[in-house]
Chain A
C-alpha cells in the first residue's frame, strides 16, 4: 500500500507539471478558440530565461545564488508574457476567427523560435535590429512618397525583403568579429542546476520519500492556480476575461475592450507557459526541443478537461498523471498480485512509460464517446463549440 501511495504522489507531481503547462493553453483556448502550437516553445523560452538568470547569479555565489530560482520564476513569467503579447498583437490578431490557420501559423512561429535559440548570437541580434530598423524607416519613407499608388503594397513587401537582405549582409560582416559570432546558447542542451534546497529529498512521511522538486512543483502549481482563480474571479480584468469567454459579441457590445482582453489573456497564458518551463528545468533537460516533449500531453489534458475550464484542466491533468504513474510503473501488479493471467499480460504490456501513453489515449477516446465536450462542457446558448 505504501508503494501505491508513493505512486499516487508521483502521479500528482506528473499531473501538476502537466497542469502548469496546460493551464495557459487552456485559458487561451477557452477565450479565443485558438490553440497555440508554439506554447511548448514558450515553455522553452521560460527555461532559457532560467538559464540566463542562473548564469547571472552564479558569480555571486553562496546564499544569493540559492535564491536565484524565485527570481527566475518571476522573470520567466514576464519575458514569455511579453513575447506572448507581441505574438498576439502581430500575428494571432490577423487570424481572428480562423482557428485552423492560427494553428499552422503558430507552428511556424515555433519552428522559428527553435532555430532562433539555436543560432542566436550577438551578430545575429544586431543584424535583426538593423533589418527591422531599415524596414520601418524604408516603408515609412515609401508611404510618404508613394503611399497612394496602386503598386505601393507590393513595393512595401519588396522594401522589407531588401531590409532583410541588408540585415543578412550585416550579420555576415559582423560575424567576422569572433566574439560577436559565437552563438549564445548553441544547439546543445544547457545545464540548469537547481539550488541546493531543491535538490535532495525533503524527508519522509509514513515511509514515503518526499522529493524536494516534486513537492515544490506541486506547491507551485497550487499557488499559481489559487492566483489564477483569484485573478479570474476577483479582479476587473478577470471578470472581463470571463465575460468574453462566455460571449464575445455581447461583451463587445457592452463596451468591454475585447482586443485588450485577448492580448492580456494571451500574455498571461504565455507567461504561465514560461513558469512551467522554468519549473521543468528542475526535472529534465533544457534544450531547444524541450517544448515538443510536453505539448502533446497538454493537448490531451485540454481534450479531456473541456474548453476553458480550470476545474476540468486540473482534474484532467491529475487523472492523466496518475494513470501514467500507476500503469507505467506496473504497480498495479504489485497491488493486485492475484490477477488472472490474461489480465496480467495486458497490464504488463502497458507497464512501460511509452505504452502507458498509448493507454492514456485509448482512455481519452473512450471517454469522449460519453462526454464529447470533455468533463466540464461549457454551458451556454451557443451551438458552436
Chain B
C-alpha cells in the first residue's frame, strides 16, 4: 500500500508527460497545459488561504504581472512584431516613438526570467506588508485585495501608450528560440515545461507548509490573537507567504500567457480572481493536492459546459460556489481524505461502519459528513 502511494505521483507525472500528448489533439493538449499552469495559481492560493487563512481576491494582479513580463520580452525580441523604429508595432497606433523606460530591461531574457516571478513577489510583499502591518485581516483583507485588483485593472486597461491597454499583448505570433510561440511544437514544449514546473511549485509549497514555518502559518489561520500573545509577530510570516504566493502566481501567469497566446487586463477582472479561489475550494483547501485537482477539474468542466451550453456556465459556477461552501467545505480531496466516501458506502451498507466507542447514533456520521 505504502509503495503504491509513493508511486502514484510519479505515475501521474508520467501520464501527463507521455500519455496525454499521445492521445489528445493539439488543441486539447494546449487546454490541459493551461489548466496545469492555473493549478500553480491554485497552489499559491492554497498556501495563503488554506494554510494561512488569508483570502485574497486579488491574485489576478500577480498572475497578470508575470504574464505581462514574459509577453513584453517576447514582443521586443520578435522581428515581425517590430515597427518602423524597432519598437513593437502597436505603439505606432498611439503615436509613441520611444520605448517607455520600463520596457527597456525586458530586452534581456535573463532579466525577464527573473522578473516574471520577482516583480509579482515584490508587489505582493509591498502590498502585503502595508496591509498586514496594521493587523488588517479577514473580510477586510479580502475586499482591500479586490480593490487593489480593480485599481491595477484600471491602470493596465487605461494605459494604451504604455502597455497597449484593453488589447493586451499577443504572444502567439512572437518568436522564441527561432520558433513561433503559437506553433504546435513550441506549445508542446511549453506544455512539458508546465508539467515539470507544477510539481516543483508543489514542492515549494510543501516546503513552506511543513516544519515550524508551516506550523506558524496554521497558527495564524486558526488563532492569530493567541499566536501574538505567545510572543510571535505574525507580520513577517504573513508577508513572506503572501510574497511567495505572488511569485508562484507570476510564474503561473507567464506559463498561462504563452499557452493562451495573449495577456490582457481581462486577467485582472474581479471574476477571474474569485474563480481562482473556487478551484481551491472545490479541490480541498489546506491539502496542496486538492487545488491541483480542483483547478484542473473546474476548468475542464468550464470548457465542456461553455462549449455545449454557454448560457449555462454561470448557473453551474454559481451553484458550484454555493454547493462547495455549504455542503462540501473540505473539497473533493478533503472529503476523500476524511473518509467521506467510506461513510457514503457505509450509509448504504456496502462498507462496514467505522467502529467508535462509545457507539455513535447510526446516521450521525453520515449526517456529520453532510454538514
Cross-chain contact B139 with A34 (CB below 8 angstroms): yes
Interface: A114 (CB within 8 A): yes
Cross-chain contact A369 with B274 (CB below 8 angstroms): no
Contact with B326, one of A94, A107, A118 (Cβ below 8 angstroms): A94
Known: A296-B147, A296-B270. A99 touches B139 (CB 8 A): yes
Range of interface residues on chain A? 35 or more
User: In the bound complex, what is the Cα–Cα distance between A231 and B352 (angstroms)?
Assistant: 58
- Report B-chain residues with C-beta under 8 Å of the C-beta of A383: 225
Interface: B155 (CB within 8 A): yes
Interface of B, helix, strand, loop or mixed by DSSP: helix
User: In the complex, what residue of chain B is closest to A383 when comparing beta carbons?
Assistant: B225
- Report B-chain residues with C-beta under 8 Å of the C-beta of A91: 322, 326
Binary contact track B312-347/A, C-beta < 8 Å → 1, others 0: 001101111110111001000000000000001011
Cross-chain contact A303 with B366 (CB below 8 angstroms): no
User: In the bound complex, what is the Cα–Cα distance between A115 and B317 (angstroms)?
Assistant: 11
Which B237-286 residues have a C-beta within 8 angstroms of A?
270, 274, 277-278, 281
User: In the complex, what residue of chain B is closest to A296 when comparing beta carbons?
Assistant: B150
User: In the bound complex, what is the Cα–Cα distance between A105 and B135 (angstroms)?
Assistant: 25
Cross-chain contact A372 with B136 (CB below 8 angstroms): yes
Contact with B154, one of A104, A152, A299, A358 (Cβ below 8 angstroms): A358
Cross-chain contact A150 with B362 (CB below 8 angstroms): yes
Cross-chain contact A33 with B139 (CB below 8 angstroms): yes
Cross-chain contact B318 with A369 (CB below 8 angstroms): no
Interface: B293 (CB within 8 A): no
Known: A35-B139, A105-B322. A384 touches B225 (CB 8 A): yes
- Report A-chain residues with C-beta under 8 Å of the C-beta of B362: 150
Interface: A72 (CB within 8 A): no
Interface: A48 (CB within 8 A): no
Interface: A364 (CB within 8 A): yes
- Report B-chain residues with C-beta under 8 Å of the C-beta of A108: 317-322, 325
Binary contact track B149-161/A, C-beta < 8 Å → 1, others 0: 0110011011000
Interface: A334 (CB within 8 A): no
Interface: A228 (CB within 8 A): no
Interface: A300 (CB within 8 A): yes
User: In the bound complex, what is the Cα–Cα distance between A148 and B367 (angstroms)?
Assistant: 11
Cross-chain contact B347 with A151 (CB below 8 angstroms): yes
Min C-beta distance of A187 to chain B, whole Å? 9
Binary contact track B136-147/A, C-beta < 8 Å → 1, others 0: 111110111011
Cross-chain contact A361 with B151 (CB below 8 angstroms): yes
User: In the bound complex, what is the Cα–Cα distance between A233 and B109 (angstroms)?
Assistant: 64
Min C-beta distance of A125 to chain B, whole Å? 15
Cross-chain contact A99 with B150 (CB below 8 angstroms): no
Contact with A100, one of B136, B138, B347 (Cβ below 8 angstroms): B138
Binary contact track B204-228/A, C-beta < 8 Å → 1, others 0: 0000000000000000000001000
Contact with A364, one of B139, B147, B281 (Cβ below 8 angstroms): B147
Interface of A, helix, strand, loop or mixed by DSSP: helix
- Report B-chain residues with C-beta under 8 Å of the C-beta of A303: 140, 143-144, 147
Known: A94-B326, A101-B329, A105-B326. A369 touches B151 (CB 8 A): no
Interface: B370 (CB within 8 A): yes
Known: A368-B136, A372-B134. A109 touches B363 (CB 8 A): no
Interface: B130 (CB within 8 A): yes
User: In the bound complex, what is the Cα–Cα distance between A352 and B157 (angstroms)?
Assistant: 13
- Report A-chain residues with C-beta under 8 Å of the C-beta of B157: 354
Range of interface residues on chain B? 35 or more
User: In the bound complex, what is the Cα–Cα distance between A372 and B131 (angstroms)?
Assistant: 9
User: In the complex, what residue of chain B is closest to A352 when comparing beta carbons?
Assistant: B158
Which A96-121 residues have a C-beta within 8 angstroms of B?
99-101, 103-105, 107-112, 114-115, 118-119
- Report A-chain residues with C-beta under 8 Å of the C-beta of B324: 104
- Report A-chain residues with C-beta under 8 Å of the C-beta of B325: 95, 101, 104-105, 108
User: In the bound complex, what is the Cα–Cα distance between A369 and B136 (angstroms)?
Assistant: 10
Contact with A357, one of B133, B143, B154, B318 (Cβ below 8 angstroms): B154
User: In the bound complex, what is the Cα–Cα distance between A101 and B49 (angstroms)?
Assistant: 11
Known: A109-B322, A118-B311. A152 touches B147 (CB 8 A): no
Interface: B55 (CB within 8 A): yes
User: In the bound complex, what is the Cα–Cα distance between A294 and B363 (angstroms)?
Assistant: 46
Cross-chain contact B270 with A150 (CB below 8 angstroms): no
Contact with B151, one of A101, A114, A152, A358 (Cβ below 8 angstroms): A358
Cross-chain contact B134 with A153 (CB below 8 angstroms): no
Min C-beta distance of A20 to chain B, whole Å? 19
Known: A100-B55, A358-B151. A111 touches B317 (CB 8 A): yes
Q: Which of A104, A112, A303 has the most CB of B within 10 A?
A: A104
Min C-beta distance of A41 to chain B, whole Å? 10
Interface: B235 (CB within 8 A): no
User: In the complex, what residue of chain A is closest to B278 when comparing beta carbons?
Assistant: A104
User: In the complex, what residue of chain B is closest to A362 when comparing beta carbons?
Assistant: B151
- Report A-chain residues with C-beta under 8 Å of the C-beta of B349: 150-151
- Report A-chain residues with C-beta under 8 Å of the C-beta of B317: 108, 111
Interface: B188 (CB within 8 A): no
User: In the bound complex, what is the Cα–Cα distance between A115 and B225 (angstroms)?
Assistant: 41
Min C-beta distance of B223 to chain A, whole Å? 10
Min C-beta distance of B276 to chain A, whole Å? 11
Interface: B148 (CB within 8 A): yes
Interface: A64 (CB within 8 A): no
User: In the complex, what residue of chain B is closest to A25 when comparing beta carbons?
Assistant: B143
- Report A-chain residues with C-beta under 8 Å of the C-beta of B315: 111-112, 115
Cross-chain contact A369 with B130 (CB below 8 angstroms): yes
User: In the complex, what residue of chain B is closest to A302 when comparing beta carbons?
Assistant: B143
User: In the bound complex, what is the Cα–Cα distance between A256 and B107 (angstroms)?
Assistant: 66
Cross-chain contact A104 with B314 (CB below 8 angstroms): no
Interface: A173 (CB within 8 A): no
Cross-chain contact A107 with B274 (CB below 8 angstroms): yes
Q: Which of B147, B274, B324, B370 has the most CB of A within 10 A?
A: B147
Cross-chain contact B138 with A385 (CB below 8 angstroms): yes
Interface: A379 (CB within 8 A): no
Cross-chain contact A368 with B131 (CB below 8 angstroms): yes
Binary contact track A134-160/B, C-beta < 8 Å → 1, others 0: 000000000000001111111000000
Interface: B348 (CB within 8 A): yes
User: In the bound complex, what is the Cα–Cα distance between A349 and B34 (angstroms)?
Assistant: 36
Which B residues are within 8 Å of any A CB, using their own CB?
Answer: 49, 53, 55, 57, 130-131, 133-140, 142-144, 146-148, 150-151, 154-155, 157-158, 225, 270, 274, 277-278, 281, 311, 314-315, 317-322, 324-326, 329, 344, 346-349, 362-363, 366-367, 370
3 smallest beta-carbon distances between A and B, as pairs: A108-B321, A372-B134, A111-B318
Q: List 6 A-B contacts (CB under 8 A).
A: A100-B53, A108-B317, A108-B319, A151-B348, A365-B130, A385-B140
